[in-house]
Amino acid sequence: MKECKLATGEPKLVVESLGVVIGGGRPVVIAGPCSVEDPEMIRRVASFLAEEVRDELGVRNLILRGGAWKPRTHPYSFQGHGLKALEWLKQAGEEVGIPVATEVMDPRDVEQAAELADFLWVGARNMQNTPLLRELGRSGKPVLLKRHFGAKIGEWLCAAEYILAEGNERVALIERGTRGFNEYARFSLDLTVIPVIKKVSRLPLVVDVSHPAGERSLVPPLAYGSLAAGADGIMIEIHPNPDKALSDAKQQLPLEDFKVLASGLKEAGLL
The one of Mn ion, ligand PEP, none whose footprint includes residue 124, by CB under 5 to 8 A per kind, is: ligand PEP
CB of 37 to ligand PEP, least distance (A): 13
Provide the binding-site residues for Mn ion, judged by CB under 5 A: 34, 248
Pairing outcome for strands 62-65 and 15-17? unpaired
Helix, coil or strand: residue 239: strand
Query: What is the residue-wise DSSP string for 159-208?
Result: HHHHHHTTT---EEEEE--B--S-TTSSSB--TTHHHHHHHHBSS-EEEE
Is 146 near ligand PEP (CB under 6 A)?
yes
Which of 62, 22, 58 is closest to 45 using CA atoms? 62
Q: Which CB sits closer to Mn ion, 4 or 219?
A: 219
Q: Which is nearer to Mn ion, 119 or 162 (CB)?
A: 119
Among residues 141, 211, 239, 259, the one that binds ligand PEP under rule CB under 6 A: 211
Give min distance, CB of 206 to ligand PEP, in A: 11
Which of the residues 91 through 130 are near ligand PEP (CB under 6 A)?
123-125
Q: How far is the CB of 167 from ligand PEP (least distance, A)?
A: 25
Residues counted in the chain: 271
Q: Is 82 in the site for ligand PEP (CB under 6 A)?
A: no
Residue span 47-76 as binding mask against ligand PEP, x where in contact by CB under 6 A, dash where not: --------------------x---x-----
* Neighbour-count burial for 179-207, b at 16+ CB within 10 Å, e otherwise: eeeeeebbbebebebbeebbeebbbbbbb
86 contributes a contact to ligand PEP by CB under 6 A: no
| Separation of CA 144 from chain center | 7
Chain position whose Cβ is nearest to ligand PEP = 123
Q: Compute how many residues bind ligand PEP; rule: CB under 6 A.
A: 10
The total of other beta-carbon atoms located within 10 Å of residue 250's CB is: 14
User: In the complex with Mn ion, which residue's Cβ is closer, 13 or 145?
Assistant: 145
Which amino acid is located at 24 in the chain? G
For Mn ion, which is the closer residue by CB, 13 or 64? Answer: 64
Contact predicate 172/231, CB 8 Å: no
H/E run at residue 144: strand 143-146
Binding site residues, ligand PEP, CB under 6 A: 34, 67, 71, 123-125, 146, 176, 208, 211
